[in-house]
Structure 1
Amino acid sequence: MTLILVACSKTTFTVTFDVDGEGSESIEVEKNSLVTRPADPVKTGYDFIDWYEDADKTKTWDFASKKVGENVTIYAKFEIKKFNVTFDTDDGTPVDGQLIEYNSLVCEPSKPTKEGYDFVGWFKDAAKTIPWNFQTDEITANTIIYAKWSLKEGLFPKGGLREQIDENNPRILNKVYVSTKSALQSKAKGLEPGTAVIIEDGTYDGVVLSPEANGTKENPIFYIAKNPGKVKFTGEARIEIKGNYNIISGIEFTNGSPKYDSGIIVIRGSYNRINNIKVTNFNGSFTKSNWITLKGQYNVLDNSTFSGKSHKGPLLNIMREDDSPNYHYIHHNHFLDFASGLEENEWETIRIGTSVTSRSSSFTVVENNLFERTNGEIEVISVKAGENLIKGNTFIEVEGLVTLRHGIKNIVEDNVFLTNSITDGGGIRFFDGEHIIRNNYIEGVRTSASFRGGIIIHSGNNSIGKTTSKSGQWTAFNTLIENNTLIDCERSFVYEGKYPHAPENITFRNNLVFAENKEVVFEGITLVNPIYDNEHYCGASLGIELKDGIFFSQEAPILSTVNGLKLHSEFGARDLNVLNNKNAGCLF
């Protein structure tokens, strides 16, 4: 008997796919067969490169020709992703971008600089509310890191002063007393720094002054009443300051009119100051004129009272002749009883710039002023420039709104709007973008107009990133609306929809609305990509679809009365001052 032994040859082999620490998968492949290429594997934070024969991943596996003759492992090779990190300096000096690997830290760059601003820090979000931590925040995608700025203290003093300039001012070096119009007009020429023209008590009719002399910061030139309020200019009056470092103070303008339509006082130079004056019913036969015109830079209008303007033309016109910044400071003034222009334009109480220069920044501050019944038009303050601050003002029974008409990056904060339920009062309306609307109090708005209300977010003629004409309607975008309180308002928020492009990327945060028996939002158009964060609304109806971040109720919130304002302990505005004629306006 013969025993024949036959060796059985293996007909399949195991092919293992090693996915570089992400696990493995095996298949059986027939001897001398090709391996079918699997789907590209995925590893978070990495790009797949290819499959390799060796563990060192130096030779790729050729799925088109390489056949299996033994058990084999095929290795996946990956390369870590790299992401672009861009620094948005918000018009500051440029900062170079970085290419950063997945889950790695960004190198903190040098601080950028920006004229008129102090650098605050780097932030994760465009609204600049979440700081970037360079020690812990890792990169997982292409990223923009945003610079945040604050206004320089030296350029934008906070709070100003309740100050009246008189003949005892320590910066006065030489005093010239005048008691007649002719003496005043002749002496107010060619003056040296530190000279004070001191005007004796009396009435001066038809005074025209056009001084060109320059004072200095330490020793300005003064044109002041000996006894503030006891010097009255009447008739066709005109003071035109062409030089720098001049101060006008203590004069009352009454029973007269501007000599020219550019105004009673025109400041053409820089570093000048109009302090503690009073203008009452100074209209004459004009159908259109300003009362005050500011040109130049670093001019101040403070502690003055303006009442009874009855004709067209901005009461205070900040005239921007080019794109240069202005840095004017308007504080502690009292504006009252500006007649209605019956919906006509150019009846603003304050106008900052025009559309011609609106794509540049003015850096003007309007702070701690009192507005009462300044009913010229819908734009009680008309902002037509960028980077201005409207802060701490009080508006009482005003048929108009603070209007950000043109320009970007304006701040409107700490203002109080008390309409006392008059028709067509309101709060704030804005076009364009990158504004901050913060910590304002608005009460008692009564309107049925689609472009009036508590806070109005405007549609526009341009899609975001595109332009329209300088005088056109620039669509609202990238604006933060936070910590505002709106009480008993018809149309607390208005999403205005007159124009084709909806506002985009508007952030609402920590606002409080109590609109008992009223709709909270009037939706004329649907916002694109809005963000709602801790919004607390109470009213008869919401007016929009309920969104994440909105807490809506028909039950009244618990409010406390502080300085006559109805405030909540956790949401909305706080720490506000309500001005009256004892803490704003002239001091005589």
Structure 2
Amino acid sequence: RVSGGTQTQIADITDLITPGTTYSVKIERSGTSIVVYRNNVALASASDATFLTGKVGFGSRNDTCTFDNLNVTVGTPPPTPTPTATPTPTPTPTPSDGIPAALRTVNVSSVSTLQTAINNAIPGDHIVLVNGSYSLSASVSVSSKNGTAANPIVIQAASILGVTFTGTGAFNVTSSSYIIIQGFRFTGSTGSSGADGLNLNGSNNCRITRNYFHMTDSIKAYWTYITGAGDDHRIDHNEYANKPAEGCFIVVYGTSSPYDMSKRVRIDHNYLHGQTFTGANGGEAIRFGDSNRQNIDAFGLIEFNLFESNTGDVEVFSNKSSSNTIRYNTLRNNTGSIVLRHGDDNTVEGNFLIDGQNGIRFYGDNHKIIGNYFSGDSGTGVLSTLGIGNGNIADAPGGNTGYDQPNNCIVAFNTFVGNSTNVVFGLQGTSSFPATGTVFANNILQSDSGTLVSSSSGTPSGTIWEGNILWGAASNGIIPASGFTRVNPLLSLGQFSVYRIASNSPAVNASVNSANYGYLTTDFDGQSRTGTRDIGADEYSTASIVRRPLTTTDVGPNGL
């Protein structure tokens, strides 16, 4: 309510919204009362005398929310039909995915007519390539073409995965904006020059969605490559399959003179599997930055991806920039981890790391490793379940390829159950630069083998140990007695084959200094965490489970 220039909050809605999603929002006013609806479900109501004669409208603060298609009805509004569930997308028809309707549809049936249509494209064009197989002897080029947020330029197959590209040509988007590429199979060869598959160079606000990548590499190549001066891209619902050669599925960089990172890149709902390159380096599924860009804030969001059976590089996701969030992903049966190799101020939250040799390892400052679930991990050394590194330099400048000493990082509210190794300090680097100021709090560690907390080299300095629960035949290790309680947390295997605490678990409402973790608002199931939180990644609740370990039905071109 705004009255006399004074703004007053009179109702609060704590329901979550998903970035990049379109919602129907409705406000109904009746006398002195208003009701706010989202997707025809009432979320909040309030009463105030000013509503009787004042103005009612929509607005947004502190975010990038936008409103369009505004309808105003005076009197009794017509009934709004109850929304029906959207069926699982299938190869035909093409799902809308929030893509605006075409202002003009341009149907093409060859590579040459596709290129001509792209050259002549205007905002709102949907360029639709007839299903079939097409050989690219030269690259398809989208150069200096600009759609708008309301009317992007869409380049798509007639149906999802209905078009297959072979040959040695790539797909290049340069100096363009608001371009959407949807529904193609990229199965060609990167050629002897190592041409990358799909490139976004110096472009903004582009989207790569519901494509399939399985290319034949004869030399190092990246299958999706973001570089140059450009921000705000989304890579979603793609499948990246079976890459035995050097080079990553996805690489995100930025400019090189000066070095910068592409900002606010969102990578979500992709299925990344079968990256099996076993060279010394260069076989990550995703690389986000590099040593030259390690101190640059990228504000990337990597969420809801499924990494599976990537058995080459020890880094499945390699973070090499700052201020990124890696959350709600599932890693299953990999020989590689989420690794914060470079950069500061990153958050790794709510991920499921299950079986195989996949975990989390980090270097650098001010990271948050919170609310993650580790189960059945068999890795050791650099593939330990949670590796907290040593540095070989106190504070790495841009371009330095060493290990940045970890300082002031938070490891809290995680659950470790049934792993061969659990938490290992002192990985790589030197004992002269051990982790300092680590907060290790409110975690559950349960195992019948090995050591729960150990150090491979050096002694961590200034660690705050508090509120942890240890259980099982595994030895305690270096954690001091004041930092844990040895008690059965009453974990049981439940829905979606995940271990959760029982209602009578000693973890319930037992966390220490819970108020320090106000940013941790949900558990790994997506259930609310308020007040004195439960120890570990699970908050005991009878509410519906919102998040769970991902499967192939959730991600990729035909994922939800």
Give the TM-score taking structure 1 as reference length: 0.68
Shift of 1:518: 2.4
User: Which residue number corresponds to residue 208 of structure 1?
Assistant: 139
In 1, are the aligned partners of 2:192 and 2:219 still within 8 Å (CA)? no
Measured at CA, do residues 348 and 414 of structure 1 come closer, stay the same or move farther in structure 2, by a change above 3 Å? Answer: same
Q: Secondary structure at the match of 1:176?
A: strand
User: Which residue number corresponds to residue 448 of structure 2?
Assistant: 516
Shift of 1:165: 5.0
1:41-72, Cα deviation, whole Å (9 max, x unpaired): xxxxxxxxxxxxxxxxxxxxxxxxxxxxxxxx
Number of positions where the alignment pairs a residue of Structure 1 with one of Structure 2: 425
Question: Which among 361, 376, 392 is matched to residue 297 of structure 2?
Answer: 361
Question: Which among 377, 380, 387 is matched to residue 448 of structure 1?
Answer: 380
Matches within 5 A, 1:149-548: 154=64, 170-206=100-136, 208-212=139-143, 213-242=145-174, 243-254=176-187, 256-257=189-190, 261-268=194-201, 269-280=203-214, 282-284=215-217, 286-295=218-227, 296-321=230-255, 322-324=259-261, 326-342=263-279, 344-419=280-355, 422=356, 425-449=357-381, 451-463=382-394, 470-498=400-428, 499=430, 500-524=432-456, 525-539=458-472, 540-544=474-478, 546-548=480-482
Q: CA RMSD in A?
A: 2.6
In 1, are the aligned partners of 2:390 and 2:435 still within 8 Å (CA)? yes
User: Which residue number corresponds to residue 572 of structure 1?
Assistant: 536
1:475-526, Cα deviation, whole Å (9 max, x unpaired): 1110111111111112200012541211001001111111113211221221
Shift of 1:467: 6.2
Q: Which moved more, 1:539-548 or 1:507-516?
A: 539-548
Shift of 1:185: 2.1
Q: Within 2, Cα distance between the matches of 1:409 and 1:462?
A: 18
Give the TM-score taking structure 2 as reference length: 0.71
In 2, are the aligned partners of 1:320 and 1:354 still within 8 Å (CA)? no
Asked if 1:587 is matched to 2:497, the reply is no
Larger proportion of strand: 1
Shift of 1:469: 6.3
In 1, are the aligned partners of 2:160 and 2:557 still within 8 Å (CA)? no
Q: Which one-letter code corresponds to 1:392 in the other structure?
A: Y
Larger Rg: 1
Q: Secondary structure at the match of 2:469?
A: strand
Q: Which moved more, 1:430-439 or 1:204-213?
A: 204-213
Measured at CA, do residues 542 and 353 of structure 1 come closer, stay the same or move farther in structure 2, by a change above 3 Å? Answer: same
Q: Secondary structure at the match of 2:419?
A: coil
Q: Secondary structure at the match of 2:243?
A: coil
Q: Secondary structure at the match of 2:166?
A: strand
Shift of 1:377: 0.4
Q: Which one-letter code corresponds to 1:190 in the other structure?
A: N
Identity of aligned residues (%): 25
Shift of 1:452: 2.3
In 1, are the aligned partners of 2:352 and 2:549 still within 8 Å (CA)? yes
In 2, are the aligned partners of 1:364 and 1:389 still within 8 Å (CA)? yes
Shift of 1:169: 5.2
Shift of 1:294: 1.3
Shift of 1:535: 0.5
In 2, are the aligned partners of 1:417 and 1:426 still within 8 Å (CA)? yes
Q: Within 2, Cα distance between the matches of 1:299 and 1:316?
A: 13
Shift of 1:386: 0.3
